[in-house]
Amino acid sequence: MPKNSETVYGENDLRLVGCYNRMGSVYYMYGESNLALEYYFRCTQIYKAYDIENDDRVAVTYNNIGKAYLLQKEFQKALGNFTKSLDALKKNEGDNCPNAAISYQHMGELYSMQREDDKSLECFLKSLEIYKTIYRA
């Protein structure tokens, strides 16, 4: 239950997270990163109300926030959120899950944009390693 005694269908209803995440993704696709961030941050507020920290849904939201910051070329903020995503995933699912591979791909993209090719390659290779482990390729 939420910490702040919101009713089930109030602003902090956990069932709204999926809608907010999808709305943020639509704005992201339109290049409207500020509007995307508004919806992604609504998701994080709801997770906090329910004390949900280490969950794949939280990790996906942090990944989405990181992508929006990447669109703005806010590299440190993007990296911070990709790292939060990985931390949540490691605590919940371990090191080898598809969402972790996606986080490493986004980090690789970030480093590539910054012309840090060695770090970029390292992240892409880590992502590939995870996929090979998962799918036994």
Residue 55 near residue 25, CB atoms below 8 Å: no
Domains and CATH numbers, the chain: 14-135 (1.25.40.10)
Q: Where is pLDDT greater, at 56 or 7?
A: 56
Residue 132 has pLDDT above 60, yes or no: yes
pLDDT at 79: 98
pLDDT at 9: 63
Taking alpha carbons only, the member of 79, 73, 93, 76 closest to residue 133 is 93
Helical H segments across 33-74, by residue range: 33-49, 56-71
